[in-house]
Amino acid sequence: MAYAKYECLETITKVHWPCYIAGDFNTPDIDWDNLCCLRDSGDKCLMDFAQANGFSQVLAKPTRLNNKLDIVLVNEPLTVHSVDVEPLSR
């Protein structure tokens, strides 16, 4: 079951305060604006995890071309005032 790889994240969601999960998940098939997967892939597992545990994606802008590969999930979205995407400096 592909969902099993997110079970470790589920353990940190059993808290009584805001929980934030951020990182480069490399999930280009998730359309966070419409809460759907663009095709049947393993990316659906992360989307299902987020929905099942009350998380919202608060990153509004793409981080790589048209995709939101870097993800900021939070179970209390009102605790986030803004999230900015900065260009990678070399």
Between residues 48 and 12, the one the model is more confident about: 48
In a domain, 73, yes or no: yes
Check residue 14 and give its pLDDT: 80
- Signed CA dihedral, 21, 3, 60, 58: sign only: negative
- Tens-place pLDDT, residues 32-87: 889 999 887 778 888 988 998 899 999 877 777 766 667 899 999 889 888 877 77
In a domain, 89, yes or no: no
| Count of structural domains within the chain | 1
Residue 88 has a CB neighbour count (10 Å cut-off) of: 7
Which tokens go with 24?
A: 């480069």
Check residue 45 and give its pLDDT: 86
Check residue 1 and give its pLDDT: 43
For residue 70, give its domain range. 2-7+16-79
Check residue 88 and give its pLDDT: 65
What is the Cα–Cα distance from 34 to 17, expressed in whole angstroms? 27
In a domain, 47, yes or no: yes
- Signed CA dihedral, 9, 39, 56, 49: sign only: negative
